[in-house]
Structure 1
Amino acid sequence: MIFPLEILEHILLKCDGKTLLTARKSCKSLRDTIDYLTEKTRLWEWCCREEINPEELVEYLPKYEAYGKEKWLYMYINWSSWETIEDVTILNPILSPVQFQKISSIAVSSDHIAVGSEDGRLRIFTKHWAPVFEHRIVAVKLTKLTFIDYNDYNDINNLDLCLVVAYPKGISIVAFNGIRNYQFDILDIISHSVYNNYICYEKVGGRMTIIKITNHYDRREIQEIWFTRIYSPGCITCYKMWNGKCTFLINSILESLVYENPNITPMEQMQRITDIKFYAPLIIDSSTTQILRDNVIISVYKNNGSDKTSQPDIIEDYVEIIIIDKYKRHSKKLFNMWEIFRSNITCIFLYGNTLLIGTDSGSLYYYHISNWKNFDLKYYNHRQVICKHPIIVIQAKENEKERKFYICSKFTVHEVSGFIPSIY
């Protein structure tokens, strides 16, 4: 018996996304019907917004702006595939064709790759490693690179790039439009965080500032929108800008600020979230503690036995994960890093529903993140040997058919592609 088309359409509109993908793959008739509904309704947008965590959508959406209405279908296919990493074909790492010396940082957009080195040199390439731009920023190590003020569609069709380049005690905002470059320096900086075209930085003396970068005719302009000062004995442990909110860990107190609020004043007060009691003592002025998005804190504690002030029951290397729920409560997880990895963690990277951990032995561990409260560091979904050197930076790029990771050691850049199942 064949259902009338109207009844079939009504049934399909009630299905979830994974059921629709299965039906779409089963036969040409169902595929045509679902594709017809895709054109006439917001079918896949509904599926994405109902099933994908909103925090993940924030990361995915800029990657698919160039695909028009079909972006929601591509986004859902990619997301659902990485929900089960075992079903994704993760290829062996490929070395970049460009030779580097003493790599210290890397940043990736849809069509460009920026590489920083320990001698202060910044080099920008296309996604096929054709050179685009090279400039010596400073004479010291570039510690971090971040693309700002772009979306992936414009990045593909224009050559108007802007990066935040960090180095010890300073950052530079570097813009390049294919003809000339512009550089603005901010010195005496201890740390910083970037999200879209906003930068939060901590200066010597405890002053915290948030600035906004705007594009005015042929140059970037900087607008200061907020500042405060952290007085002793208060001390910034770490902070993270994410989707309109900046989260601060001050000693063991978690606070936040909504910086995209149109009514924000320069002296707006941060909102206290909760006090956190860490099992392992926090290390000030280090990269061992980081906030992932705004609700997860990861602290990597290395105890070599020489610290006499450490708690006596901590005798090995630990990873401590703090999870903040919507009611401002927190829970803790503690893992022994040596028991799990037989090496030390050197890099932690979260993209969408995938967490990657790099180690000093060159191994990369993949985790699917569905619920942080059920997360167990011991049960990784995939392990891959990338190189024989410590992994220092991980970046991600995504299109409609693959999710590609750029894994960087001090000596080279490795590309790892994860292809989604063939369900088109």
Structure 2
Amino acid sequence: MAGARFIVQADGGSRGNPGPAGYGAVVLDARTGEILAEAAEFIGRATNNVAEYKGLIAGLKAARALDPDARILVEMDSKLVVEQMSGRWKIKHPDMQPLAAEARGVAGRGNVEYTWIPREKNKEADRLANEAMDAGKHGRQWEPKARAAAAPVVDEPLPAAPAPRAGWAAPADLGAPTTLVFLRHGETPLTPLRQFSGSTGSDPGLSEKGVWQAERTAEALAARGTVQAVVCSPMLRTRQTAEAVARRLGLDVRIEEGLRELDFGDWEGLTFAEVMERHPDDLTAFFGSAKAKPTGSAESLTTLAHRAGQARDKILARYPGKTVLVVSHVSPIKTLVRLALGAPPDAVHRMELSAASLCAVQYYSDGNASLRLLNDTSHLR
């Protein structure tokens, strides 16, 4: 295997940041895409960044064990690690400096490159990191699962990776796509005041206007006749909105915890201006990094993306080929749209999402997604 070319994909996570943490890494043959090695470990209490660096180190060690002289392309969805290891960003945090030094020592000189990939392209490493954290939760360490033997590699061109599809229908061999129609809940008393309303605040219900919006949305969706299931966040405002639609359609409502709004911590119930006055540094950091958290919150947009992505995957697995109404909130819906587009995390700050607006994304069996609708409020006019 001398002179081999490997791809190392690595990830790490922390449930609480800091909290119970773990990492995962895979080594791929750059030519065939075959998984050559896997590594994962529960590392106890740590931050996301520490877990990500440890995942990188484990992936590099696994690659070097296969071939000390291999050329390695590291792919990670951590912009921080990629930029720091590429030498473009300074490493200021004292916890990161020794980890980066260790990674450089394992990497060697001149034959490792780093590139950022969106989270959805890093699913194997993300899966392993979560398996490691799940194992730690039960007081044990991660153990590799047996993999089926790889098919013999023949010397022929590899098929091109699936390209983003903007067509009107899925090719016949992919079957019918699963369509998720995202509905932001109707107005609450806090909505017109533009007050932060997350998952740990007062949990307001719909206002009189919000009830009207939910009913108008129900009429419109009933007229279209395409929705086959209704799933919603556990918050009161989303349940009221979902129930209004479900009654009209004759469907039940299924609750999905991962669709709840971001925890806004000490910002709950405050306006943007009030947060800017009381917590200016935290607000600036929040808009500057997906890993920054609102003051007093346990969640960042990165954390939200992880749980919302898991909720999406559960829905797709439960309702293949169907059209599902997903009633949620501003942050989860923007995040899922952003993930469908493969856009960077800060794209969520460039989207407008009105109360009771509709978005729609189609998901195909080859892993592609197509955004079909964004912030549609025509049914309210």
The answer to which structure has the higher strand fraction is 1
Calculate the TM-score normalised by the size of structure 2.
0.21
**Larger relative contact order (CA 8 Å, sep ≥ 6):** 2
Calculate the TM-score normalised by the size of structure 1.
0.20
The answer to which structure has the higher helix fraction is 2
